[in-house]
Structure 1
Amino acid sequence: MVLLRGGMCPGLEEDLVRDLRAADVKTVEDLVSSDIEELAQRCSVSFKALFAIRRVLLAQHTAFPVSGADLYEELLSSTAILSTGNPSLDKLLDSGLYTGEITELSGGPGSGKSQVCFGASVHISFHLKQSVIYVDTTGGLTASRLLQMLQSETSNTEEQMEALQRIHVFHSFDVYSLLDCLYSLCSGGLQQASAGGGSAKAVIVDSVSAVISPLLGGKQNEGLSLMTQVAGVLKTLAKDFNAAVLVTNHVTRSSSGEVQPGLGASWSHVPRTRVLLERVEEAAAASCSSLRFATLIKSSRQPCLIKEELDLQWWSRSQVEHSGKRKLDETDP
């Protein structure tokens, strides 16, 4: 609350402030919420003068109301949805990765987390023409793998190289170098990495659990503190820099034996959306190892526990092959 005092605005002199206090009007809030006509009579001041004072104080000390429609328009203008390039995954994510949010992919070894990150980064770079920050904490990302995926998109060498230049790779093999990397992105690295002005719209950390989970044993104090720092700077990148942040996580088993994302309850509040990747056992038996089940386990937009079958090879085939496969599927008995 802001106390009334002489000189706050034209016409509000000490004598009037004294009269207002005598009428039990001591703050700006009291004045703007009072019946001005009645108050003017009690303080022996003209209605016109008191109304003018009230109008100035309203402009200086209160927020103007914003309609729900205005808020929605602001959301639309500030939020972008980046397609991952895989229609099954985009369907699960309600169209793709949202800027301003953290999305998590969790899964066991060989579940395809890194493959999804590779594919999404290639699609965002080549098709959406957006810069991608890729933080690799396991050493699993190679330029040859990215090039192979780009070669399935275009045979034009110049286009391949342009897309590769939009993918900026950082290697961070411990939590301290990860924090250094993320803080440097906040300090200007995100803008510098953008090829067409503005900031890079996609930040991928594969994997966040690889550098944090080894620190969560024993008393956990230091590990939890470092995990909180990582979470904080990732949220800053998402919110303040309007980036779509994608992280990967390992899995553990609950006391009942169910598979669940790792890093515990404290971390569970960090991602806005969480997807669990699992092998399709029938496909594995039939040597179709690229098929996975993707289950939505946390979302503010979609019903949880919906599941999609995901083909990891989607990003490694040309769009012509994708279309041909769809037509073949439609004609299969």
Structure 2
Amino acid sequence: MAPLKSLQQEYPLVDSSFQAFCASHGIFSVEDFLLYDVDVLISSADKQSTSQRLKQGINQLLYIIDALHQPLLTGLDLLEDAKRNKHSLSTGCQGYHWIDVLLGGGLRQGQLTELVGPSSSGKTQACLQFAATVAKKHLAFVVYLDTCNAFSPQCIAHFVGRSSSPVFNDQADHKPLQKVLDRIICYPVFDIFQMFDVLHQLEINLRSEMFKSDCQVRLLIVDSVSSLITPILGGGGPQGHALMISVGFLLKKLAHEHNLAVLVTNHVVGGDSGTCKPALGESWKTVPHVRILLSRECESDICTFSILKHPSMASGRAASEMHAHDLVSGLSSSP
């Protein structure tokens, strides 16, 4: 969501005086406003000489927030939208088409898919594989939010090279890789507010049709969303929880309105009876449309993808026998 200063041109009531009033209460963005007690803010405005104007500004912000929510849609509207827009993007795991079969065709546009797994299970490598496939096979842009300094062009080169020329020896051989890398837009993101800024700018760019009509954004990856959200949940206060829900809402809004497949990664934490479960708690559990658990057998190269949640499939379905080496060899073989 937007910083307040970016709203002034479109909404004159959110002028410099109103922004200064909000700043005195630590409110600099729509997210800050959402976390603040509106009744307290109105009471404070009543004490100012420009109280009427300030309260009009508060109402303007409430209107903006209300406009962000999707209109009510009938079942027929949703069906027509799914037929027209919501296609699947192949994950492109060469020789292992069972991943696409498991997901009903691949990553679904218009939906948020969450890939859950312990450390070193291959989540980032899967994200890089999917990004390379969408950029190469679907000729589409991929927006990649990297929260852990884990993005690897060498790994992308490995995946692209494996599906075309095995070795890039000259300039001509590099052209397929250059085209793929040109379509993957990577943003290093290290806190939740920076993520909001990047997503807001992406929404502006998508609305303004900045991207070429023949090569549009089709995949948004956040690796990993839990790295940004976990720090703000400390202390058990309501602010972190509200920001987490705002992130989920914005990601799903981008997916639905702009026909994107959104993929986020999440780590696991200890659960009851020593079992592991996805991090971020019960509230976040309702956010993803699809939840997939990625696990690797101890002392083995065998990976297993298991469905934890899917809108059209029963949970518990799994596919194994994918060699982890095929996912990680791009990193180990890169210089």
TM-score (norm 2): 0.68
Which residue, out of 188, 192, 202, partners 2:205?
Answer: 188
Change in CA separation of 1:225 and 1:73 when aligned onto 2, cut-off 3 Å = closer
Q: Distance in 2 between matches of 1:140 and 1:295?
A: 24
Shift of 1:88: 2.6
Q: Distance in 2 between matches of 1:257 and 1:195?
A: 50
Which residue, out of 144, 155, 177, partners 2:154?
Answer: 144
Structure 1 stretches lacking a partner, 5+ long: 1-65, 319-333
Residue correspondences, number: 246
Which residue, out of 288, 300, 307, partners 2:311?
Answer: 300
* Structure with the greater alpha carbon radius of gyration: 1
Q: Distance in 1 between matches of 2:114 and 2:196?
A: 18
8 Å CA contact retained: 1:103, 1:272: yes
Q: Distance in 2 between matches of 1:316 and 1:259?
A: 23
SS in 2 for 1:308: strand
8 Å CA contact retained: 1:190, 1:200: no
Which residue, out of 240, 250, 257, partners 2:267?
Answer: 250
Q: Distance in 2 between matches of 1:191 and 1:121?
A: 23
Answer yes or no: is 1:77 the counterpart of 2:59.
no
Give per-residue Cα distances to partners, 1:25-73, cap 9 Å, x unaligned: xxxxxxxxxxxxxxxxxxxxxxxxxxxxxxxxxxxxxxxxx995x8645
SS in 2 for 1:236: helix
Specify the alignment match of 1:4 in structure 2: none
Q: Distance in 1 between matches of 2:246 and 2:75?
A: 35
Structure 2 stretches lacking a partner, 5+ long: 1-73, 166-172, 331-335
8 Å CA contact retained: 1:131, 1:195: no
Answer yes or no: is 1:311 the counterpart of 2:335.
no
Q: Distance in 2 between matches of 1:193 and 1:114?
A: 28
Give per-residue Cα distances to partners, 1:226-249, cap 9 Å, x unaligned: 111211210111111110000000
Change in CA separation of 1:278 and 1:205 when aligned onto 2, cut-off 3 Å = same
8 Å CA contact retained: 2:140, 2:215: no
Change in CA separation of 1:75 and 1:129 when aligned onto 2, cut-off 3 Å = same
SS in 2 for 1:152: helix
Give per-residue Cα distances to partners, 1:232-278, cap 9 Å, x unaligned: 21011111111000000011122222211110011001100000111
Answer yes or no: is 1:269 the counterpart of 2:280.
no
Structure 2 counterparts to residues 315-326 of structure 1, below 5 A: none
8 Å CA contact retained: 1:137, 1:173: yes
Shift of 1:153: 1.9
Report the identity percentage.
Answer: 31
TM-score (norm 1): 0.68
> Could you tell me which amino acid in structure 1 is paired with residue 153 of structure 2?
A
8 Å CA contact retained: 2:206, 2:258: no
> Could you tell me which amino acid in structure 2 is paired with residue 311 of structure 1?
H
Specify the alignment match of 1:102 in structure 2: 112
Q: Distance in 2 between matches of 1:188 and 1:93?
A: 29
Structure 2 counterparts to residues 1-333 of structure 1, below 5 A: 72-86=79-93, 87-155=97-165, 156-188=173-205, 194-197=211-214, 199-281=216-298, 284=299, 288-289=300-301, 291-309=302-320, 310-314=322-326
